[in-house]
């Protein structure tokens, strides 16, 4: 490795020597910007007409070229922009603004540690720009990616405000290691620890909760090996680069104000009986079984109706961007206040951002990107607990009422009185986050830039909970404070030159070090003198005092070398060496690499660019590796957990088996792509990929007779193969009317190739994810393995399942379980149509997923036929009464009356859906009219609907097919245990520019 | 000049390749490595207490096995909402029941943690031989208790086929990384191992400790004999049961309490009680003693009230003071029901977990005597001691040998209700766990728990229980 780096240096050195040979006569410098947005364009080719002298612009659009005395014209060219020829006068500064002639190709994409021209990049990257999510009420940035980037599957885990999202890039390539992509904001890799919690969604806290979508200029999803290898041991599950907005040099300050307000309600809720239905059903049931019918109370209460309300949202956003000759800035602030559609779920968000850059001289620059955010949330019980409003409402016996005869709240026990819980005490989460980086850049010699960048990401979660006397006698409270504090330094040398007319060279060499410490303090106590004492300090019995801390450090060296010939033949190689504290003694260091090549056919002489059929055509291929280091902190050590106690003395218990070989898992990926513009209107991107993960980190299940449940080992192999299509089409473009369509779809097939020895009845190794779901060798990582439900036998009225060989039975056993589908979809994607007619615009965005099963596990409760302990679905009223009945539920006294609800394909349902995610209708006020105000530059009003329409299987029982109750888990996806359905919302807003 | 600058930076970058080993060597802050734990007296002691700490867990002494032992019998109604527990009530459970795999897991945690102490404690510097011997005795007692509870749950009782039926795998060696796939041993083999462990423990263990909490909360000579007397009773080896019960009582540490205020008090009534406190207990989100057995208004779940059958048993002889250990309140089904007050603390779950108490030892002794000798006077005396404590008139006349045994068993039911004995007391007497329920008949496939499917899947040597 060291040798490789040394030879890279040598190469760089030789190149520098070669350039030093050119003899100077006069130097012209300047900045090249895009005419549309005034932003600098990096990588623009600057050539002296009629000579072979050439250069290209640096990352901030600057160039410097040495010309001979007789030079008359400079030629500026850049893919996607019209070529511009500028006569050279006597001055030494020539600033140029280039005009776009093809939007798609002119795009500059953010890549790891830099930017590249999309047209000339050999990396596979999906970008989502601000215009595709502007005004959409999203709470966290992951949601922006839903349906917008081919191959990215983003699933909202719950309708609860601020719930973590499940997101996979090109199929999940991890099993027991963390499987979420790495998020990098302005170069700072964010903390994405799994912040567990006792409240809210069962999926954990959303690690990006306080990254403000309004500040984001673009999200780039790095997908293929050539894009992710530079992130080494953290790239295997994809990398999402978030670039925040910035100002522009020499631009008048623009001020933008955005406001929206809106309403939401659940897309659907589960069925439940009212008190009369329940009493009658239960009486019939008990009577039919010769059991005594208790004296049921005659009261009734509609719990679901009482906990579901109209949600509201108000969002204010104000930002300013601009710049002088040497300084540019962006300042933005957002305040939003949202109340969810369930009682007690509110979220308030305040965030501010300051991005700034100053050029000290032509050669020295420094800057700062800084974000401060605070989220204040009134939370509700975890969805898989009976303290969650809607969960409790489904299960609460409908004759139980929240108040006694005197109007006092009552304790209803395990299925708690959620109305009382939400109207007394408190349950809050305050999260603050500081994320930022400061950098300095020095141009050492022509083309060679040194950059040092220092960043922090400090996130603090403060959870507080207080339950009053009626629900816990004496009262109860807890405080949990979690912090994840990171700092990092990244130092890079970049070298960008054109050698001669045709040889483009880009080199990057870097070193980074980062470390983060994750701490948690948890305190709880009980026994308060009064409900009026809010703080834990007033508790008489402190029951828990816990403090834990985890730390990791990552040290890396990385390099990238790109070479292009005449914008036709493109090559790139990258290399990264990571040393991580997470890896075992025997494998502290990992090396990751990628090689890629591209051929821009449309720049060949034989290609007729003026043909109507095709205007641009590029083929790319890449192969390389990346790792996943998300394997816990010290999992390679065999340890005893301290901190337990017995009879007032400390106790320790073994908690982990030693594995000094524990290491990252590695994903090798092949990607072949085609990028084209055809018919002067259609941009096409096609990619095929084949990803093979080896050293898959698996929790190898141990027989419990060893004392351990499992041990982490690098043992498995997993493959994701897929195909992605991204289409962008300008269907109609006239002065008054435009119609654009964007479509993307990603097909993925996930196959587990090998797992540790642990065989099922069919002889295939497997690893359990949940009771219903497992990774099976030869099948999907998320295969459902359950017994098959057949239905109610119309003759007998008994529920029937199938044995393994398909024979109906009323008493299935575990050995009858079969593979019954998978939770990962065959394909996901999105489809957007945007129309503009004069001042009106309309856009409709659908996202879709197909081919996956979802387990609506809550049905095992709401369809529990025999229980008297909680409420039931009205579907059970359709029970079998006489031979010939095709009923939903069994005969009242059938022997299957208590097994009817058992886990089977009955709860496993088709999760395919298409959803009208957003639809927007807007009106832009005419510039002429606004001109008269002398204040307002632009104004738009709009109405936006979210999730207004969902197309799903007609037999789907469950509130929402979009579920992922375990959030960012790999082993368990597509399962819901009373997860809140997505909200259906309408918002109205205004965008003003000054 | 510039070239030098570049060289300096690149030299710096290159050097950094070697300089940071130290930064990457981070160690856990909450855990101790295996190498350190048995390398000092204090950490080794914490590993011994770790066995008890594991036993505090819901699935061991934290009430779940005991709750199941009550409502799979006829003492307790289960009106709670957990489907996995409802299945057990209905005798329709399946091998994927997650509560059951939890029971199996935690019991083997206790066993393997005991195995580790037994194997490693000899090498710990700084411990006296007496301490080492005592620690091994404690570990063996806890291992015996774990196998006892496992055999009760996962095997048909001795009475079904004289103990030749399969019970659970005996794992006695320290796990050091090599996975083995042990097969199930027979009930007789498991019982023999329990006997061996208890006999060895009774030699190694002290009769009492320096503090009351340890004398009641850690393994003692008396506890080993007391558990042995229960084993012999379950195996119908009456003389051995008598011997063991007498040996326990002979340690001089135990006496019948005068009244029923002894719960959670660490008195001479307690032979072995897993100690809980507000800051250290086995309560989990899914249950605990008071969580199951107390009504909603005091913070319980209201899952497990008195059954009609138990109420009838108490009401058959009015005035029983043990029937006063109750209160009525709202149950999980929203109806008013009667609940035990033996475990009052549903807020902090500090109630101790009863395992062995003096009354049980006397009941073991009385029953074993009465089974051997018709109308044993000593058995009648013990019976009447308990009856008079309960405020009931003495019973002196018994028509047959069986009627004395039945009277002792009835006392046993009323005395030990909510402490987890009922299911085994019915089964070992070849009774039907719940009157009128066919699936609950003696020997019924689902009167015992399934070997967890997870274990069957992971260990090819394991044979499932019939019917699962």
pLDDT in tens, B172-197: 999 988 999 999 999 999 999 999 99
| Mutation site for B-interface testing, chosen from A303, A521, A703, A867 by largest number of B Cβ within 10 Å | A703
- In the block, tokens 């007497």 appear at B429
| Distance in angstroms between the alpha carbons of the first and the last residue of chain A | 54
Residue of chain A whose alpha carbon sits nearest to that of B1: A444
Nearest-CA neighbor of B254 among B386, B342, B365, B359? B359
The helix, strand and coil proportions of chain A, stated in percent and rounded to the nearest 5, come to 10, 50, 40
Which residues lie below 8 Å from residue B42, measured CB to CB, with a gap of 6+? Answer: none
For residue B225, is pLDDT > 80?
yes
Residue of chain A whose alpha carbon sits nearest to that of B454: A703
List the beta bridge partners of residue A476. Answer: A467, A526
- In the block, tokens 């059903």 appear at A281
- Residue-wise pLDDT for A119-168, tens only, equals 889 999 998 888 888 878 777 788 888 888 999 988 887 788 877 778 88
Residues of A in contact with B275 (CB under 8 A): 646-647
Complex ipTM value: 0.94
**Gap between the Cα atoms of B218 and B205, Å rounded:** 10
User: B183 and B189 in contact (C-beta within 8 Å)?
Assistant: no
Distance from CA of A814 to the nearest CA of B (A): 6
In Å, how far are A454, A726, A935, B183, B185 from B464, measured between CA atoms? Answer: 60, 53, 80, 11, 13
Residues of B in contact with A490 (CB under 8 A): none
User: A450 and A440 in contact (C-beta within 8 Å)?
Assistant: no
Distance from CA of B25 to the nearest CA of A (A): 6
* Partner-chain contact A642 B46, CB within 8 Å: yes
Residues of A in contact with B331 (CB under 8 A): 413
B14, B28, B348 ranked by CB distance to A543: nearest? B348
CB-count burial class (<10 Å; 0-12, 13-18, 19+) for A310? exposed
Distance from CA of A717 to the nearest CA of B (A): 20
Strand positions, DSSP E, B402-448: none
| Mutation site for B-interface testing, chosen from A869, A870, A872, A890 by largest number of B Cβ within 10 Å | A869
**Gap between the Cα atoms of A168 and A967, Å rounded:** 11
User: A555 and A583 in contact (C-beta within 8 Å)?
Assistant: no
What is the mean predicted confidence (pLDDT) over B239-257?
A: 97
Q: What is the pLDDT of residue A563?
A: 95
- CATH code of residue A84: 2.60.40.1120
Residues of B in contact with A473 (CB under 8 A): 297-299, 346-347
* Partner-chain contact A639 B111, CB within 8 Å: no
Beta strand pairing status for A766-768 and A773-776?
Answer: antiparallel
Which residues lie below 8 Å from residue A679, measured CB to CB, with a gap of 6+? Answer: A612, A613
Residue A485 lies in a domain: no
B2, B17, B108 ranked by CB distance to A2: nearest? B17
- Class for the domain spanning B40-205+454-462: mainly alpha
Nearest-CA neighbor of B384 among B363, B356, B355? B363
In Å, how far are A321, A737, A837, A935 from A930, measured between CA atoms? Answer: 20, 21, 19, 8
* Partner-chain contact B454 A701, CB within 8 Å: yes
Neighbours of A453 (CB within 10 A): 22
| Mutation site for A-interface testing, chosen from B49, B105, B218, B293 by largest number of A Cβ within 10 Å | B49
User: A87 and A71 in contact (C-beta within 8 Å)?
Assistant: no
**Gap between the Cα atoms of A166 and A963, Å rounded:** 9
Q: What is the pLDDT of residue A12?
A: 46
Residues of A in contact with B339 (CB under 8 A): none
| Residues written for chain B | 468
**Gap between the Cα atoms of A958 and A860, Å rounded:** 11
* Partner-chain contact B46 A650, CB within 8 Å: yes
A548, A642, A647 ranked by CB distance to B218: nearest? A647
User: A380 and A345 in contact (C-beta within 8 Å)?
Assistant: yes
Q: What is the largest CA-CA distance in chain A?
A: 109
Angle at A733 between CA A727 and CA A735, to 5 degrees: 155
In Å, how far are A96, A367, A783 from A329, measured between CA atoms? Answer: 21, 9, 50
B54, B179, B346 ranked by CB distance to A703: nearest? B179
Distance from CA of B13 to the nearest CA of A (A): 6
A473, A708, A860 ranked by CB distance to B347: nearest? A473
Q: What is the pLDDT of residue A11?
A: 46
- In the block, tokens 């003395």 appear at A649
User: A122 and A620 in contact (C-beta within 8 Å)?
Assistant: yes
Tokens of B63: 């009430």
Question: Helix or strand or coil: residue A165?
Answer: strand
* Partner-chain contact A814 B468, CB within 8 Å: yes
B282 band by pLDDT with thresholds 50, 70 and 90: confident
Q: What is the pLDDT of residue A4?
A: 44
B10, B21, B56 ranked by CB distance to A646: nearest? B56
* Partner-chain contact A412 B56, CB within 8 Å: no
The long-range contacts involving B207-213, CB below 8 angstroms and separated by at least 24 positions, are: B207/B251, B207/B252, B207/B253, B208/B251, B208/B253, B211/A647, B212/B266, B213/A647, B213/A648, B213/B266, B213/B275
How many domains is chain A built from?
1
For residue B43, is pLDDT > 60?
yes
Half-sphere exposure (Cβ direction) of A848: Cα atoms closer than 13 Å: 20
CB-count burial class (<10 Å; 0-12, 13-18, 19+) for B401? middle
Q: What is the pLDDT of residue A903?
A: 93
**Gap between the Cα atoms of A945 and A922, Å rounded:** 12
A1, A641, A705 ranked by CB distance to B169: nearest? A705
Residue of chain B whose alpha carbon sits nearest to that of A449: B6
Tokens of A396: 């609460």
Low-confidence residues of chain A: pLDDT under 70: 1-24, 102-105, 192-205, 207, 966-968
Domain that holds residue A48: 25-101
* Partner-chain contact B334 A400, CB within 8 Å: yes
- Residue-wise pLDDT for A865-888, tens only, equals 988 889 999 999 999 999 999 999
* Domain boundaries, given as residue ranges, for chain B: 40-205+454-462, 291-340
Which residues lie below 8 Å from residue A23, measured CB to CB, with a gap of 6+? Answer: none
- In the block, tokens 């109420």 appear at B311
Residue A479 lies in a domain: no
A386, A509, A902 ranked by CB distance to B94: nearest? A902
For residue B19, is pLDDT > 80?
no
* Partner-chain contact B13 A557, CB within 8 Å: yes
Residues of B in contact with A397 (CB under 8 A): 333-334
Nearest-CA neighbor of B110 among B42, B163, B57? B57
**Gap between the Cα atoms of A237 and A718, Å rounded:** 13
**Gap between the Cα atoms of A390 and B444, Å rounded:** 40
* Partner-chain contact B53 A651, CB within 8 Å: yes
Residue of chain A whose alpha carbon sits nearest to that of B212: A647
CB-count burial class (<10 Å; 0-12, 13-18, 19+) for A274? middle
For residue B276, is pLDDT > 50?
yes
């Amino acid at each position: 490795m060291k040798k490789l780096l040394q030879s890279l240096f040598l190469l760089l050195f030789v190149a520098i020597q070669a350039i030093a040979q050119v003899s100077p006569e006069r130097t012209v410098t300047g900045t090249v910007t895009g005419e549309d947005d005034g932003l600098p364009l990096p990588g623009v080719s600057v050539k002296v007409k009629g000579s072979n002298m050439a250069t290209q612009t640096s990352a901030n659009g600057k160039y410097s070229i040495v010309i001979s005395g007789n030079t008359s014209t400079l030629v500026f060219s850049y893919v996607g922009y019209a070529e511009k020829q500028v006569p050279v006068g006597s001055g030494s500064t020539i600033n140029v603004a280039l005009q776009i002639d093809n939007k798609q190709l002119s795009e500059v994409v953010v890549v790891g540690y830099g930017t590249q021209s999309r047209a000339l990049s050999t990396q596979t990257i999906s970008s989502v720009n601000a215009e595709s999510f502007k005004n959409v009420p999203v709470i966290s940035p992951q949601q922006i990616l839903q349906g917008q980037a081919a191959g990215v599957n983003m699933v909202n885990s719950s309708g609860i405000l601020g719930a973590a999202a499940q997101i996979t890039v090109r199929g999940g390539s991890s099993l027991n290691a963390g499987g979420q992509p790495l998020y990098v904001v302005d170069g700072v890799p964010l903390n994405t620890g799994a912040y567990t919690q006792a409240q809210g969604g069962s999926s954990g806290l959303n690690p990006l909760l306080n990254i403000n979508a309004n500040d984001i200029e673009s999200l780039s999803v790095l997908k293929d090996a050539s894009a992710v290898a530079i992130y080494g041991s953290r790239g295997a599950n994809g990398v999402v680069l978030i670039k925040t907005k910035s100002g522009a040099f020499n631009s008048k300050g623009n001020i933008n104000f955005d406001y929206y307000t809106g309403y939401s309600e659940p897309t659907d809720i589960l069925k439940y009986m009212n008190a009369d239905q329940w009493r009658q059903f239960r009486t019939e049931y008990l009577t039919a079984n010769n059991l005594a019918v208790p004296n049921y109370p005659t009261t009734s209460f509609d719990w679901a109706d009482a906990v579901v309300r109209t949600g509201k949202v108000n969002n204010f956003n104000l930002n300013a961007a601009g710049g002088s000759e040497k300084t540019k800035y962006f300042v933005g602030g957002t305040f939003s206040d949202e109340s969810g559609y369930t009682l007690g779920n509110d979220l308030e968000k305040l965030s501010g951002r300051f991005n700034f850059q100053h050029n000290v001289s032509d050669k020295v620059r420094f800057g700062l990107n800084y974000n401060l955010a605070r989220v204040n949330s009134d939370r509700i019980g975890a969805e898989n607990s009976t303290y969650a409003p809607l969960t409790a409402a489904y299960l609460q016996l409908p004759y139980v009422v929240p108040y006694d005869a005197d109007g006092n709240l009552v304790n209803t026990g395990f299925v708690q009185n959620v109305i009382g819980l939400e109207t007394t005490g408190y349950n809050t989460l305050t999260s603050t986050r500081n994320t930022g980086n400061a950098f300095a850049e020095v141009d050492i010699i022509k083309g060679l830039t040194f950059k040092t960048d220092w960043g922090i990401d400090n996130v603090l979660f403060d959870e507080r909970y207080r339950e009053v006397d009626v629900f816990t006698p004496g009262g109860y409270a807890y405080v949990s404070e979690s912090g994840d504090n990171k700092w990092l330094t990244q130092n890079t040398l970049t070298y960008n030159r054109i050698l001669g007319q045709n040889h483009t060279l880009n080199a990057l060499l870097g070193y980074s070090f980062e470390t983060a410490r994750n701490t948690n303090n948890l305190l709880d106590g009980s026994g308060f003198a009064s409900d009026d004492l809010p703080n834990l300090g007033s508790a008489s019995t402190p029951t828990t005092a816990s403090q834990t801390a985890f730390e990791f450090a990552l040290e890396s060296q990385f390099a990238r070398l790109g070479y292009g010939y005449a914008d036709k033949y493109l090559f790139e190689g990258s290399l990264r060496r990571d040393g991580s504290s997470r890896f075992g003694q025997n494998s502290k260091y990992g090396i990751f690499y990628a090689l890629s090549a591209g051929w821009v056919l449309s720049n060949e002489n034989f290609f007729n660019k003026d043909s109507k059929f095709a205007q641009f055509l590029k083929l790319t291929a890449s192969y390389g590796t990346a790792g996943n280091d998300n394997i816990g902190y010290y999992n390679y050590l065999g340890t005893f957990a301290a901190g337990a106690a017995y009879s007032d003395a400390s106790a320790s218990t073994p908690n982990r088996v030693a594995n000094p070989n524990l290491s990252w898992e590695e994903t090798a990926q092949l990607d072949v792509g085609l990028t084209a513009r055809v018919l002067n209107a259609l941009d096409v991107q096609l990619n095929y990929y084949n990803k093979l993960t080896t050293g898959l980190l698996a929790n190898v299940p141990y027989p419990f007779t060893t004392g351990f449940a499992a041990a982490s080992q690098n043992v498995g192999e997993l493959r994701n193969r897929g195909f992605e299509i991204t289409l962008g089409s300008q269907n109609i473009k006239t002065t008054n009317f435009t119609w654009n369509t964007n479509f993307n779809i990603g097909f993925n097939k996930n196959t587990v190739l090998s797992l540790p020895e642990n065989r099922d009845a069919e002889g295939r190794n497997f690893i359990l994810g949940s009771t219903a779901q497992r990774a099976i060798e030869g099948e999907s990582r998320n295969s459902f393995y359950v017994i098959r439900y057949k239905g109610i036998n119309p003759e007998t009225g008994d529920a029937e399942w199938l044995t393994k060989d398909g024979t109906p039975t009323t008493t299935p056993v575990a050995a009858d379980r079969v593979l019954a589908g998978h939770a990962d979809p065959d394909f996901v994607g999105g489809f957007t149509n945007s129309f503009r007619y004069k001042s009106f615009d309309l856009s409709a965005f659908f996202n879709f997923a197909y081919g996956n099963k979802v387990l609506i596990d809550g049905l095992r409760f709401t369809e529990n036929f025999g229980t008297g302990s909680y409420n039931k679905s009205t579907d059970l009223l359709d029970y079998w009464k006489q031979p010939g009945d095709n009923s939903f539920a069994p005969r009242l006294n059938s022997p299957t009356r208590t097994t009817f609800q058992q886990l089977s394909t009955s709860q496993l349902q088709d999760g395919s859906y298409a959803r009208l995610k957003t639809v927007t209708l807007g009106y832009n006020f005419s510039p002429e009219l606004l001109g008269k105000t002398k204040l307002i530059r632009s104004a738009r009003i709009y109405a936006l609907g979210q999730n207004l329409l969902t197309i799903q299987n007609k037999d789907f029982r469950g509130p929402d097919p979009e579920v992922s109750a375990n959030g960012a888990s790999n082993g368990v996806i597509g399962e819901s245990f009373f997860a809140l359905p997505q909200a259906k919302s309408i918002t109205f807003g205004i965008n003003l520019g000054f | 000049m510039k070239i030098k600058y570049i060289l300096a930076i690149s030299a710096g970058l290159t050097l950094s390749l070697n300089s940071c080993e130290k930064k990457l060597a981070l160690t856990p802050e909450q855990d101790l490595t295996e190498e350190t734990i048995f390398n000092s007296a204090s950490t080794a002691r914490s590993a011994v207490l770790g066995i008890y700490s594991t036993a505090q867990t819901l699935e061991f002494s934290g009430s779940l096995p005991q709750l199941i032992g009550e409502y799979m019998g006829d003492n307790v109604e289960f009106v709670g909402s957990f489907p996995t527990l409802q299945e057990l009530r209905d005798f329709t459970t399946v091998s994927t029941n997650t509560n059951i795999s939890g029971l199996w897991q935690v019991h083997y945690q206790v066993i393997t943690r005991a195995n580790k102490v037994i194997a490693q404690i000899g090498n710990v510097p700084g411990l006296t031989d007496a301490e080492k011997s005592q620690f091994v005795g404690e570990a063996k007692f806890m291992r015996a208790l774990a196998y006892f509870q496992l055999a009760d749950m996962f095997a048909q009782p001795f009475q079904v086929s004289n103990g030749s039926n399969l019970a659970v795998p005996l794992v006695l060696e320290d796990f050091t990384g090599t996975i083995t796939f042990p097969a199930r041993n027979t009930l007789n083999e498991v019982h023999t191992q329990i006997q061996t462990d208890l006999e060895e423990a009774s030699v190694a263990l002290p009769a009492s400790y320096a503090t009351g909490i340890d004398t009641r909360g850690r393994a003692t000579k008396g506890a080993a004999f007391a558990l042995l007397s229960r084993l012999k009773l379950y195996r119908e080896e009456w003389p051995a049961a008598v011997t063991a019960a007498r040996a326990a009582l002979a340690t001089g540490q135990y006496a019948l309490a005068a009244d029923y205020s002894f719960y959670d008090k660490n008195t001479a009534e307690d032979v072995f009680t897993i100690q809980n406190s507000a800051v250290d207990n086995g309560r989990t989100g899914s249950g605990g003693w008071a969580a199951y057995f107390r009504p909603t208004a005091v913070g319980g779940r209201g899952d497990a009230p008195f059954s009609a059958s138990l109420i009838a048993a108490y009401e058959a002889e009015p005035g029983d003071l043990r029937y006063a250990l109750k209160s009525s309140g709202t149950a999980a089904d929203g109806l008013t029901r009667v609940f035990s007050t033996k475990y009052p603390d549903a807020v902090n779950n500090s109630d101790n977990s009863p395992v062995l108490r003096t009354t049980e030892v006397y009941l073991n002794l009385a029953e074993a005597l009465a089974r051997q000798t018709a109308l044993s006077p000593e058995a009648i005396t013990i019976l009447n001691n308990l009856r008079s404590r309960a405020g009931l008139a003495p019973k002196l006349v018994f028509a047959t040998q069986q009627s004395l045994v039945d009277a002792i068993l009835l006392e046993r039911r009323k005395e030990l209700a909510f402490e987890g004995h009922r299911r085994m007391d019915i089964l070992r007497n070849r009774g039907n766990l719940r009157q009128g329920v066919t699936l609950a008949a003696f020997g019924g496939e689902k009167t015992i728990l399934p070997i967890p499917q997870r274990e069957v899947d992971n260990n090819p040597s394991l044979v499932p229980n019939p019917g699962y």
